[in-house]
Amino acid sequence: MPIRVLSEEVAAKIAAGEVVERPASVVKELVENSIDAGAREIKVEVRRGGRRLMRVIDDGTGIPAAEVELAFARHATSKIASVEELASIATLGFRGEALASIAAVSQLTIVTRAAEEDVGTLLRLEGGKVTHRQKKGCPQGTVITVENLFYNVPARLKFLRAETTERKHIDGLVYRYGMAYPHLRFSLLNDGRLTFQSLGSGELYDVLIEVYGLEVAQQMIEVRSSETNDLGLVDVHGYISPPSLHRANRSYLTFFVNGRWVKDRMLSYAVSEAYRTLLPTGRHPIVVLRLELDPSQVDINVHPTKSEIRFLDSNAVFAAVQKAVRRTLVDQAPIPRMMGRPSQQPVLDMERWRRLVEVGTQARAVGIEAPSAFEFPESAKLPPLRVLGQVAQTYIIAEGPEGLYLIDQHAAHERVLYERLLAERAKMAVASQSLLEPLTIELPFQPGIAGGESLEFLNHLGFDIEPFGGETYLVRAVPTMLATGDIGQAIAEIVDGLTEGEAVGAGEERALISLVCHSAVRAGKTLSQSEMRDLIRQLEATTMPRTCPHGRPTMIHLSAAQLAREFGRR
Ligand code: ADP
Ligand code: MG
C-alpha cells in the first residue's frame, strides 16, 4: 500500500483512543475541566456504568458563545499559550485534547453560559461533527452530557468491561477528586441514586468519612509536614492508617501531586518503606497524601491521560514522603513490641514449598531421583499427638513421642481448611450451604475492583451472590466452611485480595487464604477436648501441617531434650 495521510476522521479516532480509554477517562477529563473553570460544585451523573451516559454539571466560568465550537477543536485550550508555560502549569488541563477526543467517539451535548453573557449556548456533536446549535437560557456554568461512548468505534466498545466494573472505576475517580479538593462539593449519581457526596467543607477528613466510612476515618492519623530541601518547599499532608489498620491490596494508596491524582510507583514505595516492619507481610496501609511542590519540579506532560508524572529529583521527593510518613507513625502510632524468641522452626513459605514440590515432581516425572533438598520434606509430617489441654483459649498443648507441642488453633485450622478447599476446588465441588435468610452486604469503596469477574470467582468458590443495586449485594449461599464466620467481612477481604494487579493467580490464592482465614476457628475460642482432638487429627492428615497458608508456623515444638536441658537435667 502506498503511504498516505490518514483522513481527519481516522486520525481523530486514533488520537481519541489515547485520552479516552474507558468511561472513567471521560469523567476524569470533564471533572478536571470543571475544576479548572473554578467550579465550587460539581455534579456527576452516570447511567449504566457510563456506557449509556455520563454528565458533568458545574457552576464554573462557562464558555463564551463565540468560543464553544473552538473548545472542541484539537489542541484548543485557554490554559497555556507557549511552550515555556508548560514548565509551570497550575491547571489540570493544558493539552487542549480532551473535549475533541471525547466528542470524536461519542454523542455529546454541551450547554454552557459564561458569567458575562446573558444567554447560553447549546451545541450537539456526533462523532466530533456539530449537528445542532442553538441559544439557550441556563445558569452560569457548564453541563456536558456524553452518550453512547464508542458508538462509532466498535473495536473499543468490545473492550469495555462489565457495567459494574466501569462504574467502580468512575466511583474511584470521583472519590479521589473529592479527596483532592475537599473545598469543592462533589456529588455522584449512579443510575439515579446518590452514591457519594462531599460537603465542600474544606476538610479532607470529612471526605474520608464519605469515602471510607466513619470507622476507618476515625482511626486515620493526620500527616502534616512542610520542609525546605533541594527542591524548595515540599509540603506533604493527608491521612495515613495506623499499623493496626491495613488492607490486602495496594489500591488504597492515593497520591495527589499539586492537586492532580497520580499513579506513581515511587510514591507507593516511599510509603511502604515508611511502614517497613510495621505491617504484616502482604498487607498495605490506607493512605491519602497530598504533595505540593514547585510545579517546575514536576513534568506532567508524560502521557495524554496526565496521570503519570516525572519528578525532576525523585530521590528528594521519595525522602520527603518517606520521612513525613515515618515520623508521623513513630510519633503517633503505638508500635507493637516483638515478644519472645523467634521460632526455632524454619518457616517454609508457600512459594518456596511449591517450588520444591514442583522441582521434585518434575525430576520424578523424567525418571531422575530428585536430590534430597528438593524432596518434599518428610520431617514435615506430624507424629501422633495426644491433646493435654488449651492455653489462653488460643493454643492447644499436646504431647508426642518427641516432646511437647504448642499448636496455634487458628493457624492449624487454617491449614486444614486450606488443603480441604484446594482439594474441593480441584474436583470443582466446593461444598456450599444456603443461608436461611439471604444476607445483604455492602461492598463500598473497592478501588479497581473488577466487579463482574470477582462475583464470578466468588460464585465458583461456593458463594451465591448477586448484585442488588448500587453497592449492595445479596448473599444466598456461602461455602460450608464459612457458614459460621463473618460472611460480610470475608467477602470484602476476598474481593480485596483479588483486585491487586499482580501476577495471575496470586490474587486468587490470596482470596482463598482470606476465605480460609475467616472460616477458621478464632483465637480466644474455648475448645472442648473432642474438638481439639478432631483438629489435631485433621492437621496430622495434611501435607504441610507445620505452617499455615500465610507461611506462619502452626506449632512450636519443645523437644524432650530441650526440656531436660532447660531443667538442668543434663
Ligand atoms: P484543556 O483542558 O487541556 O484546555 P479541553 O479539551 O479539556 O482542553 O478543553 C478545552 C477548553 O474548553 C479549555 O481550555 C476551556 O477553556 C474550555 N472548557 C472545557 N470545559 C470547560 C468547563 N467545564 N467550563 C469552562 N470552560 C471549559
Ligand atoms: Mg481539559
Each residue's pLDDT tens digit, 325-366: 988 987 775 433 223 333 333 333 444 444 444 444 444 444
Work out the pLDDT band at 201, boundaries 50, 70, 90. Answer: very high
Query: How many angstroms is it from 120 CA to the middle of ligand 1?
Result: 16
Q: What is the mean pLDDT of the chain?
A: 84
Q: Can you tell me which residue has the cell 473432642?
A: 530
Residue 427 in 3-state DSSP? coil
C-alpha–C-alpha distance, residues 554 and 412, integer Å: 5
48: left (phi over 0), alpha (psi -120 to 50) or beta: left
| C-alpha cell of residue 321 | 514522603
Q: Which residues of 239-275 are buried (b: 16+ CB within 10 A; e: fewer)?
A: bbbbbebbbbbbbbbbbbbbbbbbebeebbebbbebb
Per-residue pLDDT tens over the stretch 421-463: 988 887 778 889 998 888 988 876 554 444 566 777 788 888 9
| C-alpha cell of residue 84 | 515555556
| C-alpha cell of residue 480 | 460450608
What pLDDT, on a 0 to 100 scale, did the predictor assign at position 135? 96
Which top CATH class is 385-570? alpha beta
Are 380 and 545 within 8 A, CB to CB? yes
Q: Which residues of 302-328 are buried (b: 16+ CB within 10 A; e: fewer)?
A: eebbbeebebeeeebbbbbbbbbbbeb
Per-residue pLDDT tens over the stretch 152-184: 988 888 888 888 889 999 999 999 999 999 999
**Angle formed at CA 528 by CA 524 and CA 531, multiple of 5 degrees:** 95
Mutating to test ligand 1, I would choose from 41, 43, 77, 184 the residue with most ligand atoms within 8 A of its C-beta, which is 77
Choose the weakest-confidence range: 235-249, 355-369, 469-483: 355-369
C-alpha–C-alpha distance, residues 93 and 30, integer Å: 10
C-alpha–C-alpha distance, residues 255 and 259, integer Å: 9
Which protein residue has the closest C-alpha to ligand 1 atom 12?
Answer: 71
Query: How many angstroms is it from 162 CA to the middle of ligand 1?
Result: 30
Query: How many angstroms is it from 138 CA to the middle of ligand 2?
Result: 22
C-alpha–C-alpha distance, residues 470 and 46, integer Å: 12
C-alpha–C-alpha distance, residues 240 and 331, integer Å: 13
What pLDDT, on a 0 to 100 scale, did the predictor assign at position 445? 53
Choose the weakest-confidence range: 144-158, 324-338, 369-383: 369-383
Quick one: which ligand is closest to 97's CA?
Answer: 1
Which protein residue has the closest C-alpha to ligand 1 atom 18?
Answer: 33
| C-alpha cell of residue 139 | 445558569
| C-alpha cell of residue 196 | 457519594
C-alpha–C-alpha distance, residues 204 and 186, integer Å: 13
CA 71 vs. chain centroid, Å, equals 35
pLDDT-above-70 percentage for the chain: 88
C-alpha–C-alpha distance, residues 432 and 430, integer Å: 6
Are 345 and 553 within 8 A, CB to CB? yes
What pLDDT, on a 0 to 100 scale, did the predictor assign at position 499? 65
Are 132 and 123 within 8 A, CB to CB? yes
C-alpha–C-alpha distance, residues 335 and 205, integer Å: 24
Q: Which of 385, 387, 411 is nearest to 397 (CA)?
A: 387
C-alpha–C-alpha distance, residues 367 and 329, integer Å: 55
Q: Which residues pair with 433 in a beta bridge?
A: 478
* CATH no. for 213-332: 3.30.230.10
Neighbours of 361 (CB within 10 A): 12
pLDDT, average across residues 88-103: 87
Q: Which of 25, 27, 21, 22 is nearest to 186 (CA)?
A: 27
| Angle formed by the axes of helices 487-498 and 451-460, nearest 10° | 120
What pLDDT, on a 0 to 100 scale, did the predictor assign at position 352? 45
Neighbours of 103 (CB within 10 A): 28
Predicted confidence (pLDDT) at residue 48 exceeds the cutoff of 80: yes
Name all residues whose Cβ lies below 6 A of ligand 1: 29, 33-34, 37, 58, 60-63, 71, 76-79, 93-100, 142
Query: How many angstroms is it from 253 CA to the middle of ligand 1?
Result: 29
Query: How many angstroms is it from 33 CA to the middle of ligand 1?
Result: 5
| C-alpha cell of residue 39 | 467550579
* Per-residue CA distances from 45 to 191, 256, 525 (Å): 8, 24, 48
Closest approach atom of ligand 1 to CA 99 = 6
- Residues 6 or more apart whose Cβ sits within 8 Å of residue 162: 49, 450, 451, 452, 453
Kindly write down the DSSP assignment for every residue of 285-340, as one continuous string: --EEEEEE--GGGEE-TTSTT----EETTHHHHHHHHHHHHHHHHHHHSPPPPP-S
Q: pTM for the whole thing? A: 0.64
Domain assignments of the chain as residue spans, ordered by start: 8-200, 213-332, 385-570
Which protein residue has the closest C-alpha to ligand 1 atom 13?
Answer: 77
Tell me whether strands 232-240 and 129-136 are parallel, antiparallel or unpaired: unpaired
Are 322 and 271 within 8 A, CB to CB? yes
For residues 214 and 28, which has the higher predicted lDDT (pLDDT)?
28
Per-residue pLDDT tens over the stretch 474-495: 999 999 999 887 888 888 888 8
Query: How many angstroms is it from 72 CA to the middle of ligand 1?
Result: 9
**Angle formed at CA 173 by CA 297 and CA 227, multiple of 5 degrees:** 30
DSSP H or E stretch at residue 117: none
* Per-residue CA distances from 215 to 24, 88, 245, 518 (Å): 28, 39, 11, 20
Are 114 and 140 within 8 A, CB to CB? yes
What pLDDT, on a 0 to 100 scale, did the predictor assign at position 337? 29
C-alpha–C-alpha distance, residues 322 and 315, integer Å: 10
pLDDT, average across residues 532-543: 90
Residue 460 in 3-state DSSP? helix
Per CATH, the homologous superfamily of domain 8-200 is Histidine kinase-like ATPase, C-terminal domain (3.30.565.10)
Q: Which residues surround ligand 2, an ion (CB under 5 A)?
A: 33, 93, 98
Choose the weakest-confidence range: 54-58, 184-188, 259-263, 407-411: 259-263
Tell me whether strands 395-400 and 386-391 are parallel, antiparallel or unpaired: antiparallel
C-alpha–C-alpha distance, residues 415 and 104, integer Å: 55
The residue type found at 509 is E
